[in-house]
Structure 1
Amino acid sequence: MNNRVYSTLIIDDEPPARERLSQLLKNFPETFNVISTAENGSQAREQIQRLQPDLIFLDIQMPGLTGFEVLEKLDKLPVVIFCTAYDQYALKAFETNCLDYLLKPSSP
């Protein structure tokens, strides 16, 4: 059994989506420790490099850098779970070796 708690970063340009996912993850404190959130690709890149999270929940369509562009600019990738409202990016997402692809709105 895996007893690891993953340091987690939530990246989404929509405040309600960030808050909803954060609240959902609070139900699983034995698995997720949300260390921060980011509201765009530039913030995401900076926080990933600075905080070195184990896991990120990453939106795709964001101002500035898309979720895919964020990943392209990183030297070391955390585990990635895409969380987006668009199902047409699923194939491309799995080509990035993401762990999962969730469609918003998120639910337990």
Structure 2
Amino acid sequence: MPLNCWEFKKCGRQPGGDRVADLGVCLAASHAKAGGLNGGTRGGRICWAVSGTLCGGKAQGTFAQKLPTCLVCEFYRLVRAEQGEHLQSLKELHQRY
């Protein structure tokens, strides 16, 4: 099964994670409507499209604000490589609303 962002980054912000008491559950880890996109659990393999996620302990803001950081992220690059031409992104996420 493909890794989710919280498994790759080892941030501990998934439900039941060891950092939830300090930082709360990550929005990507609780984004149920994104479940299954790129083979992930909740928003775990489309975190770059989920507004308000933390990276490096800081809120990254909206999709537009965080995109430059996400494009150079090792996890984003991993998902892109694994998914290839089947990479699902913002369009598919918004179609689920």
Scaled by the length of structure 2, the TM-score of the pair is: 0.27
Greater helix fraction, Structure 1 or Structure 2: 2
Greater strand fraction, Structure 1 or Structure 2: 1
Scaled by the length of structure 1, the TM-score of the pair is: 0.25
